[in-house]
A = this chain, B = another copy of it.
Amino acid sequence: MKAAVPITVNGLKASCSQCNLVELCLPFGMSEHDLNRLDELVGARRKIKRQQSLYRAGDPFEAIYAIRAGSFKTDVLLEDGRDQVTGFQMTGEILGLDGISAETHSCNAIALEDSEVCVIPYGKLEEMSREVEGLQHQFHKVMSREIVRDHGVMMLLGSMRAEERLAAFLLNMSQRFTARGFSPAEFHLRMTRDEIGSYLGLKLETVSRAFSRFQEDGLVSVQQKHIRILNASGLKRLLQHQSGGR
């Protein structure tokens, strides 16, 4: 009695139960039974080309998105032209939560490489999370995690020095690559120095200099966007010594 899988504009219908990102994504920790219900929830997949936006500040809020492949940055713009990267997102992470409060997105989400997301219509999500307890709880956890993450960034921006910020950034990237089955020590950054700087509240030259310094000190090897961490505990130590900061 099951209807045929509908063909969507952008290709295959998403399926959480078949997806190898379950452990990183919204369905984490849900029962197999609940998982099957998620397949109803998640709409089409959508492909976004590098530098294209998934949504822009001011767009009406209709759905949240799970990153199926690729990576994104989110940024906010001030009237005067200044902008700030508020986060980098990788596979399995959820985009668009900022839109719920005002029913309008409050930042831009831009693909750092050709990417693909699963579209999760928000109305449906609320509806289903009234029925599926596991989904409700997971969704709340995802939102809460975003809040905790943001507090970490505030800590970083408010009280760390340039090299500490970059060290924290690299360790965070390493940890997230590891969670995705990649090497903890060797990875490829998808963002420019300018974007890293914007995220860390630094100018690109400062980011570049900090990279060079780390290289001199044998902490990492840097070749453009290719990073190899040579001394992870050295990086961690940088974070612990209270080095005056601001």
A contact residues vs B (CB 8 Å cutoff): 76, 78-84, 86, 97-102, 106-107, 126, 129-131, 133, 136-137, 140-148, 150-155, 157-159, 198-203, 239-242, 245-246
Shortest Cβ distance from residue A3 to the other chain B in the assembled complex, whole angstroms? 27
Report B-chain residues with C-beta under 8 Å of the C-beta of A131: 130
Q: Which residues of B contact A201 (CB under 8 A)?
A: 157-159, 246
Interface of A is mostly: helix
- Minimum CB–CB distance from A190 to chain B (whole Å) comes to 20
- Residue of chain B at shortest CB distance from A139: B140
Ordered by A's residue number, 27 sampled pairs between the chains whose C-beta atoms are within 8 Å are A76-B151, A76-B152, A78-B242, A79-B240, A81-B242, A82-B159, A84-B154, A84-B159, A97-B147, A98-B147, A100-B140, A101-B141, A101-B145, A101-B147, A102-B148, A126-B133, A126-B140, A129-B136, A130-B130, A130-B133, A130-B136, A146-B147, A147-B147, A154-B157, A157-B157, A158-B198, A158-B201
Of chain B, the residue at the smallest CB distance from A245 is: B82
Q: Tell me, in angstroms, the Cα distance from A90 to B200 when the chains sit together.
A: 29
Q: Which residue of B lies closest to A202 (CB)?
A: B246
Closest to A201 in B: B158
Instruction: Look across to chain B and name the residue whose beta carbon is closest to the beta carbon of A160.
Output: B82
A130 to chain B minimum Cβ distance, whole angstroms, is 5
**Best-surrounded residue of A151, A158, A241 (most CB of chain B within 10 A):** A158
Q: Are B144 and A136 in contact (CB under 8 A)?
A: no
Collect the chain B residues with CB atoms within 8 Å of residue A144's CB. Answer: 97-101, 143
Assembled-state Cα–Cα distance A129/B241 (Å): 45
Q: Smallest Cβ distance from A139 to chain B, in angstroms?
A: 8
Q: Nearest chain-B residue to A130 (Cβ)? A: B130
B136 and A126 within 8 A (CB): yes
A107 to B147, CA, bound (A): 11
Question: Can you name 5 extra interface pairs (CB under 8 A) apart from A80-B239, A84-B158, A101-B144?
Answer: A80-B242, A84-B155, A100-B143, A130-B136, A140-B143
Q: Considering the chains assembled together, what is the distance between the CA atoms of A241 and B159 in angstroms?
A: 25
A51: min CB distance to chain B, Å: 21
